[in-house]
Chains A and B, each alone.
Chain A
Amino acid sequence: MTTVLRPPIGLRFLQPPQLSPSPTSCVSFSLSLKLPRINSNYSSFEVRDVTYQPPGTQLRLLNSVSFSLPEKSFGLIFGQSGSGKTTLLQLLAGISKPTSGSIYIQEYESDGNPSQPPEPLVPERVGIVFQFPERYFVADNVLDEVTFGWPRQKGNHHLRENLALGLQRAINWVGLSGISLNKNPHSLSGGYKRRLALAIQLVQTPDLLILDEPLAGLDWKARADVVKLLKHLKKELTVLVVSHDLRLFQFTLLVFVYLAF
């Protein structure tokens, strides 16, 4: 799959928010780009009319949510507490299944027409970093923490080589190359703990990286570090963030999803 890196382009406002009369349902709209014509295929993560009502309840947490997230772009999900943001991330990561609607990857020709049937988004292609991921570190050193999810059985030489290259790339991407791999994860600073949590997902080489409140609880220095890091990461893969901190992400925003009651 050949792809071309695209610079950020100004937002287009396509449609106003539509508030549902029911106080417990959510509606969404998205500001999305008309992508410029390019000389190769490109793909997009698509969410279409997704509704979610947990089994055994009468309450819909999401109601007909739709948006598109072009590959290697940066998306931000914003909304009040209780509007369903974290639920949406869990559906995208495959932790839960929508009650109705679909989540898929669509590949397009250069003229904007679909070039292949839509492909369901599978959990193996998505990395998710939860709020305060450092609370779930399990290993005694950085290397064991990053490789915790690796296959336990010995693979062939080719597999081991790929794993090692993936590890090195993930470490470099998040700026952990200056840290000793023997260091205890809990002794890292706040910002470096978030970098480690990102590296854990990046070694799996996801196509879509999902982050739930990546700046929460960080001091001003760690925030600046993580914002810069995410700005760099979106050149490599697609990033989708839930955050209340709109200002810090403004300069890099391509897709904005507002969930409202």
Chain B
Amino acid sequence: MTSVLYDVPGPAARRRSRVWSAVGAVVVVGLVAAALARLASQGALAPEAWSPLADPDVWTFLLEGLLATLRAAALAAVLAAALGFVLAVLRRSSLSPVRWLAAAVVEVFRGLPVVLLMFLGVIALGLSIFQGVVFGLVVYNAAVIAEVLRAGIAGLPRGQGEAAEAIGMSRFQVLSVVLLPQAVRTMLPTLVSQFVVLLKDTSLGYIVGYAELLRHSRLMAEFFGSDARLPMFVVAAALYITVNFLLGRLAVHLERRGSSTGASGRSLRRRLLGGTSTAGAGAAGAER
């Protein structure tokens, strides 16, 4: 593998690299060994500590937690997408008070912690715990999605909206038929990474008492005693990482697909119109 930051390694550089690799490997192995030794001395690696994981009921219980996580995340994702679209449309309304109000809603809810919104839903609005968790996720992520869509629309070539107006489309038609579909397409990777963020944020439900994966892992640890805390934690973390990693792969895949077709589409547009477009404003806009 070559990089512009360093030359293709010669004999001396390769030797140095091998030495550093060895040193690095020794340090990492040493740290892992030290950690394992420490764990072993605490009895955390004893088979008894990990034996609860052989019990299928434990797995059923943990997977129920994962299911609760996914259920809240899925419902919140759908509602947040819908509300995000509504907010994005309202931000382009012809009535300035509506525009102003939508912008204020987006700014305020984007700037608040999700836990606080969940907490607000549960203790102030009197929602059930599940509804409160979904409420927090929906309100926050709808604001972020509205902002992502706004950025996507702003990144489209001006001619798109102008052409649509020129053929007599109404304001709403311009938005729903011409601008939003293109904005969704260019911002798809960002939207998917935002759904990864949403899924991760579902774990905040732990704080307001929602019985999700982390809570179930904790309950299991309490049931089996503190020796089981590490195994249960490792399983919960591994489940979260696996699910999020898969969703993240999907985002990367969409980005690749989008950028290959999108790039040819862009160059075609540039050739036809002689203008430059700034499509693909970036997948970096997700807010964790």
* B and A form one assembly: no
Residues of A near any B CB (own CB < 8 A): none
Residues of B near any A CB (own CB < 8 A): none
